[in-house]
Structure 1
Amino acid sequence: MPPPSAPAVWVAPTSDGAGTPAGSSRTVEDAREAPALAAAGVEDCAEPPVLPAGYERLEKQPELMAAWHAEVSSRRAEAQRTVHLLDYRDRRVAEEEQSAPHTFRQQAVLKTVHHEAAVLLGMTDHDVRRVLSVAQTAREWLPQVWEQYCLGRLDFTRMRKLVAGAGDLIETNSGNSAAQKALTEALDTQFCSAATGENKNTLDQQVRDFVAEQDPAGHQRRYERAGSQRHVAITHHHNGMSTLRAYLPTLFLADLETRLHSTARRAPRRQGVAGGLKPQPALGPEAPQDPAQEQSTFSQRTADLLAQWLRIGAGSGRGDAQGAVAVRQESTINITVPLGTLTGDSEAPAISSDGRYTLPAGEARRLVNSPTARNSYYLTGLTTGPDGTEQVERIVKLGRRNPMRGLSGGAATPDSAEDSRWTLHADLVQQIRSRPNLLKTSSAARFVTGNLRAAVMLRDKQCQVHGCTEPASTAEIDHRTSHDTGGETSGENSWVLCHHHHEVKSHGLLPRLHTGSDPPGGSTDPPPSWATGTAD
């Protein structure tokens, strides 16, 4: 095994705290003409879909391939519609500039164009404006992505995710056209081909991380500015329920989410619904004896807890309602921080250990070095594969000791500061190599618990089925080779699966991605009772 590269430090603080795409020789001009060619009946067959490893068999399913060709035709038709709308808008604006070059008049013409297109197409003015805004940004700043869209390889939803990333780069580098051009070109080159093989959720995470890493200063500015936009909105529905939306700092809500989930798991499944949250059914011969008692789901218990806590916090005097569950005081949020960020050599962002959010470098350093937070520290050793992707090879636990404690914060000279950072780096690499690798531990028990569970969750982050982004914290740890057929409880034989895909795997329906006598998805054992609906 090659030696691990620079380690990343995982921290669990408490609440105290340009080129042409591969395989393509078409030009952007070709792409703009592609929708018209397809509409005119010129043969331009859809290319095979981009499939992840293990899913190649889908190309042999005639119904699915027919659906794929229909999808590509639909995308090209949509792209053709979008090009026509852009052309109409550009023509109307150009005509207006010649006759009455007044800014207010031109804005009125744009609104008129949006309204006219909306009336004709059965859309809203807002939807037309959004489509044209996304298309204009892609055409101007992401020409390779625009080409993929016009050729039917990329749908509008995923193009919009890329445009949102470009918009962040453009906005936070306003006045610096060179930086805007360089950053958007990098985004365009990175994702023009890769985006076709991702769904909108995984692509959204990849674009988010790319933008934060390429433009850390802009990421910091967006982070600081977003706080001023915090708000709460309540929408009342016609069925007696309402929706609460709160736009609040991630660190606060991530901590609250952990508290809710951990407390809801400990709450009894059958309990009274505190505070009258569940509307009671009308009395009648079929009414239950005690309608307030129900076999509640995890989601229902989480909702009940949040409502209870809101009432307690609001001082409504109803915090002692029957069935109320006390707030669990201790919770954790988990972030992975590059070593260079901790030492100040880099401004690369920290990423939550389940991949769901990022934090600017300064905020990550504050959390790691907070004197009031009860942090636990892990070191992660990474290796880079032939395809350039990083793989987690080792995870070791440092415990409560801050690995940055050996770094002098007040070095007298730049040379001594550099020496301190080099010494720290060497020390951490040595610890990664010498301390027990949690991923190599095993247990005689059936369930994955303790340090092994923490290591598997850190390694996998999310459900391991392609395209699934369910975080490890709400997913399940599954044996690749089932425990009943001799599979050991170890890091190598464990992976994170969400409940949905765990059930699919238990029926032997996941792709055969691994070799062995009992590969994931290839077990001949009958599925467990919970997967067939026969559990008590």
Structure 2
Amino acid sequence: MSEVAELPADVAMELWAERASRAESWVEPEAVESSTVPAPLLEADALHREQLLAQWEHAVAQVARWEAVTQRVLAEALDYALADGTQGATPDLRVRSMAAELACAAGMSDRTVAGHMADAAALRDRFASTYDAFAAGRVSRSQAMVIVDEGRGLDDDAARAEFESLVLDLATGPTTTGRLRMHAKALAEQLHPVTLAERHRVARQDRRVDVRAGDDGMGTVTAHLPAALAFGIHDRLTQMARTLRDTERDGDHDGISDDAATAAQVRTLDQLRADLLADLLLTGHPTADAADRDGDDGVGALRGIVQITVPVLTLIGQKSRTPAMLTGKCPIDPETARHLAGAASLWERVLTDPVTGAVVAADRRFPTEAQRRHLRARDEHCRFPGCRMPVWRCDIDHTVDHVHGGPTTGCNLAHLCRRHHMLKHHTHWTVHQDDHGTLTWTSPTGRTYADRAPPTLHFTPDHADVLSR
């Protein structure tokens, strides 16, 4: 322990006197200028800022008012469809027909529009105060939909009115939709007359798995599960990912190839979770090497099935600007396409005339297998405008009914999902198909909407040949 030497008494007194002198002579420093910009310019800048803010508030309020108009139109469209007796169809089909009309006019999915119609009617009929605030521009559409979504389960009118009043007080203040949803969810839970346990038993019936195509050859799988299972799955994937990462860092690659171990070492925890989820669901094993080692027994015998269309140049490894397609969904990268092709147990080769795409006709009710292959390659999905239902979940429909003399040819056959198949046969929607496979739909109001076959194959000149000419 070191000792601190004491200052001589005379030196200490001298230092103390100096400090006291400075303390007595202390004065406040002059205020520092916040900017060197002259005052007139600062005032002009502040005025411009205020103008921008006022314009922004006005524009946001106007957008909200116009969005409220769309909600009114959608709700009235639902009323019209339910009350319209001229269509000669069930109420559900009349709503589908109306949604299809609105969707085609706006370039949207009719399923999406049908959902918006139901939401608009709920907003108008069950959340009148929210609708009024929305129409006046005091809340945005996203805030109004938060109130509808979180208050939808409150069937008691008094409880729903109290919920709406409390949430609107929050919505009209400076709050984001995220915070509004959190508060709305808590309020709805407090005011709900049915316990969470009872509601959960009902909500479990809606568990499902959804998939949607993304950009750059990616896709998103979403599982709607009980919260305990969802978080449990994520936690187990996290534990497995950490174990795999730690094992590979330590150099213990038991059952894992060196290449796989090297690749895993540069993967993030998110990437490891995603890779483990894909490997477990598609092979029943945490890694592809483990699947090969253990064989195809039990769960490991199950494989995911996808349909791809691969241009021949891409298949043989040459450069091609025509992408491989995950049929009816999105482009995929060439390496993945070649890998899937190499592992495929069945190949269907479709050869068509590059100019006409003509198909040999068959004088029979059902198309031949060759025609089915051609239609799958041509259509990729349901041929109603905007519908993306894949062909393997669709019916092959005769555009002109077979019973009315419609031939079983490629230019009279098309894939329709069950929803739009019923729309064609049980409402006033009609469809015509030309020799090139283009379907022209005519709505009950007489408007026409063309749906052209997806351009899976593109013919482009080789750039080297063009430059050499």
Q: Which has the higher helix share?
A: 2
* Higher RCO by CA contacts (8 Å cutoff, separation 6 or greater): 1
TM tier, shorter chain? 0.3 to 0.5
Give the TM-score of the pair, scaled to structure 1. 0.37
Give the TM-score of the pair, scaled to structure 2. 0.42
Larger radius of gyration: 2
